[in-house]
A = this chain, B = another copy of it.
Amino acid sequence: MSQSLLTTLCYIEQNGRYLMMHRIKKQKDGNRDKWIGIGGHFETGESPEECLLREVREETGLILTRYRFRGLVTFSSGDWQEYMCLYTADEFEGDLTPERMRECSEGELVWVDKEAIGELNIWEGDRIFLRLLAEERPFFSLKLRYDGDRLVEAALDGRAIRLA
């Protein structure tokens, strides 16, 4: 029996764009310089939805009013592991002011055309689940094993995916 790290990650969508975070603010950040969605760690006793709503509110000021749980991603690298609940959202309340977009403590917030996201500096495994989201695949379980920055194993719903 082992204790594990649980997180949520959300891609908020509007007008064909995703709200992306460029992680450039914290020196000690495993995601430094990478572009990812909005999210963070579960607090004690939170359900995935409670964590999702809190993290999005804290990082963007937005209140999600419609969201979907799209997949569970198992990350593994050496003896580190993380289980990430992946969401998309397309309705919310509140305004994302330019000040707020610059001021987020975790990174800079930018709306990016979905088609252009592949050109950003993103994790190799993120390309896989972003494709699954784009294909409207029903709920999936994706395992991603890294050796440092390099993706060395991927499995979708228990079946290995051949890596490029």
* A contact residues vs B (CB 8 Å cutoff): 1-6, 41-50, 53, 67, 69, 72, 74, 76, 79, 81, 83, 85, 138-139, 141, 143, 145, 155, 157-158
Structural contact, B72 and A85, CB atoms closer than 8 A: yes
Rounded to whole angstroms, the CA-CA distance of A2 and B44 in the bound complex is: 6
Q: Copy number of this protein in the oligomer?
A: 2
Structural contact, B2 and A4, CB atoms closer than 8 A: no
Pick from B41, B47, B81, B155: contact of A44, CB below 8 A: B81
Structural contact, A155 and B47, CB atoms closer than 8 A: yes
Pick 24 A–B contacts, CB within 8 A, sort by A: A1-B41, A1-B42, A2-B43, A3-B4, A3-B5, A4-B4, A4-B42, A6-B6, A45-B79, A45-B81, A45-B145, A48-B72, A48-B74, A49-B155, A49-B157, A50-B158, A53-B158, A69-B72, A69-B139, A69-B141, A69-B157, A72-B85, A83-B83, A139-B139
